[in-house]
Amino acid sequence: MISQTPPEYELTQDGNVWVAVHVDTGVASQGDTPTEAVKMAREAAKLHEQPHAPGDDNYQTEMLERFGIDKEDVTEGIDTPDGMP
């Protein structure tokens, strides 16, 4: 009897794009091939697992401006333990 380990990634195809989802974290990425999608999802999952903290006010203002978000439209912070969605 062959025992199988659970997959680290679930792969699906959406049109011409492959999507890989890291099973433990739910982090997803995409690629033109299954291999590329898993490679990108692996990198994203590693980044997700690293310690992180919100930037200071100047950094947050810079990011809002970079992405064209009006600071007045942001009324509340992200309500999660680690500050991430």
Condensed to tens digits (0 to 9), the pLDDT of residues 14-62 reads 999 999 999 998 999 999 999 999 999 999 999 888 887 777 888 888 8
Confidence check: pLDDT of 82 > 70: no
Torsion of CA 81, 83, 84, 85, to 10 degrees: 70
- When divided into structural domains, the chain yields a total of 1
At 5, the pLDDT band (50, 70, 90 cuts) reads: low
Residue at 2 is within a domain = no
Read off the DSSP letter of residue 72: G
Residue at 51 is within a domain = yes
For residue 18, the enclosing domain spans 9-69
Residue at 19 is within a domain = yes
Q: For the whole prediction, is pTM greater than 0.85?
A: no
pLDDT value at position 75?
Answer: 64
Calpha distance 68→75 (Å, rounded): 16
Residue at 76 is within a domain = no
* Helical spans, DSSP H, in 1-85: 34-49, 57-66
Calpha distance 11→28 (Å, rounded): 10
Calpha distance 9→27 (Å, rounded): 9
User: Residue 45: which of 5, 6, 8 has the closest Cα?
Assistant: 8
